[in-house]
Structure 1
């Protein structure tokens, strides 16, 4: 129910209608009372009956706000938990070039700096590109989840894939699609970084992997190991 929340062992009824009261009303009920939730709901209902339903607070539009650490791209539609709820927005971390969700108040006030992960995130002069066995791996992090974009022969191409994925997300809300099997054989994929064919399957909780120089050897191993499946 609107105006009723649970936090740290208490059911809390709250009501705010600035036009009528000019202040917030709150009352807490301890979980030790088996009827705590019911009492909080009744309390909230009594305030509504007495003062009228409080108008919904509109969400602020922070899109376009920018400082030295972040650029706000839009609203998530979510808020922080607790009595004092704060908008959560989508931002681009200028230090890591990643998309993240952050407390809007912390962004606007400058409390959030985004510098903490700079050393661990920026591994090359090309954002989104990471050296691996003579090749360059490209990946992008969107809202805390990392997506693999492929392996490339040079850093600029890997970084280009990264920026294309970011652009697709920012402009159209598109999440990178999982990379499909590129051999047509179930459980066998071609690795561009090592130029080998890899068999990979989890059986009885154990991951079985093996790599081969050509597809025929990988298929033969698969049929031998899985009995033709």
Structure 2
């Protein structure tokens, strides 16, 4: 049977919808008492396709941009699906915070203010995660991840994420490359790292030379720096 053409209760039905081209759902009915009703339904469907184009499966995603619920408004579709639900971007109109939300839960008022991702990672801000006492921000655009920097607070990371998202949605501008620091280096001193879970000797000097990893642990930060300077004969 031709796509978009069906038979039920003595009627042949032709249907068409193309959200990508802004064409809402079209329906035409033909009684099967007419021996040509099936062909007429097929002809109508073919006519719509010739006029508006052949719709693809991606057209099944609805555009909820502008839909409001309480203090939130839908900005647009993320292109993602989670648990068979279309995921949209929702903004708090008072705080400008942005979330990824399953649309069905949002429309039914069952969304509690957290995203599916937040529920799994226990983070409270989209695009921001904590590592070794600092906050890292990043955003994924069309399948590519962009690192936005490391920050002292969650709010600073959230601001970087919201700015990147705003620039993409309004101007199509992608984030500029940002150097990704080593996740374990939180001291700002070259080759010196801090391991808070290591009791007694949390300060670490680490350097790879000729394929060999040189490591030394210290009680005091200044001892680690002195060893580094002595070992290297100055910072290299």
- Greater RCO (CA < 8 Å, at least 6 residues apart): 1
Range of TM-score over shorter length: 0.3 to 0.5
Higher Cα radius of gyration: 2
Normalised to the residue count of structure 1, the TM-score between the two structures is: 0.43
